[in-house]
Amino acid sequence: MLKLFVLPPDQDPMPLSRHLWQAKIAHRVLPDESSGGQTFWLLNPDQLEECRAALEAWQQGARPQGRQRTSGRSWSQRLKKAPVTLVIMSLALLVTLAFEILLGPVVFLAVSFTPLSIESGQVISQPLSATLASGHYWRLITPIFLHFGWMHLVFNLLWAWILGESIERQQGSLRLLVLILLAALLSNTAQFWVNGSSQFGGLSGVVYAYLGYTWLWDRRHPEAALGLTPGLMAMMLGWMLLGMTPLAASLGLNMANEAHLGGLLTGLAFALLPWPTPPTSTTRNSSP
């Protein structure tokens, strides 16, 4: 390997790495212990001249596709390429709106993971067999649309767009839909299996599946990376771990920890499947 340069610790190496991979420059990015930054290594020294040309193009404004500033027209195009993401977000908004403002418990009873009953003034979750025996198979998925409070909803919708839209736009609606269904099924089941209660909801299990999938995909396929920044992964993992500590309860945070972990593991496993790598291309960015 031939050492190229060290990127300062305050700069994200992923955009430049994507640019080099799209130029078919084989390289590795490794931590630099002395500076705390990231060292770029050229795997094939015979590509040195091609690498210099790619770096010069980068300095002149070449950027990976999808990272340019977005105009109104490009936003419209992005929305058209994310129908599954928009449907999932819309359903979450409508179900939560109905629960919080219109129908309340009626919505909860309709979308809970297993049927609920009231005994001696307490809400009792029936076993999973009740869902299967009744044929209410939608219950295995529908808790992802129910949110308890507007901050809970907004937080999940934000990450559902940031991560889900990127996957759908670059890899297609079908792959995203399969990931959503698997993540919903497994994260909901994990939450119910550990706690024995159907009183939970939210898109966070799916969001953590997006996170795990994107993170591992970027490391297995840097030439077609989705672009998850290391800081985001660290922040979301930190949030998940916080929810597993007594501190979360003392702060009044009631988090679906098992759903988060189940979703994350689902996303990691999904990234290990033999998916085809989408074609990549390099475009010029004329914006300053």
Question: pLDDT for 129-150, tens place per residue?
Answer: 888 888 999 999 999 999 988 8
Q: What's the confidence (pLDDT) of residue 280?
A: 47
* Distance of alpha carbon 248 from the chain centroid: 23
Name which CATH class applies to 90-271: mainly alpha
pLDDT confidence of residue 153: 93
Domain-by-domain residue ranges, the chain? 2-68, 90-271
Confidence at 199, pLDDT banded by 50, 70, 90: confident
Q: Is 217 helix (H, G, I), strand (E, B) or coil?
A: helix
Region 14-41 average pLDDT:
83
Burial classification of residue 84, based on how many CB atoms lie within 10 Å of its CB (0-12 exposed, 13-18 middle, 19 or more buried): buried
Please report where in the chains the tokens 């839909």 appear, as a residue: 177
Task: Give the mean pLDDT of 88-116.
Answer: 90
pLDDT in the model for residue 66 = 45
Q: Is 260 known to be catalytic?
A: yes
Better-predicted residue by pLDDT, 279 or 35? 35
The model's confidence at residue 265, banded by pLDDT at 50, 70 and 90, is very high
Structure confidence at residue 285 (pLDDT): 34
The pLDDT assigned to 282 comes to 37
Q: Which amino acid is at 193?
A: W
- The question of whether 204 is a catalytic residue gets the answer yes
Strands 38-42 and 27-31: antiparallel
* pTM assigned to the model: 0.72
CA distance 54 to 100: 53
Q: Which listed residue (76, 112, 260, 287) is catalytic?
A: 260
Catalytic residue chosen out of the listed positions 204, 221, 286, 287? 204
What number does CATH give the domain 2-68?
3.30.70
CA 186/CA 193 separation, integer angstroms: 10
pLDDT at position 73 is 55
Residue 29: its H or E element? strand 27-31
Task: Name the percent of the chain lying above pLDDT 70.
Answer: 90
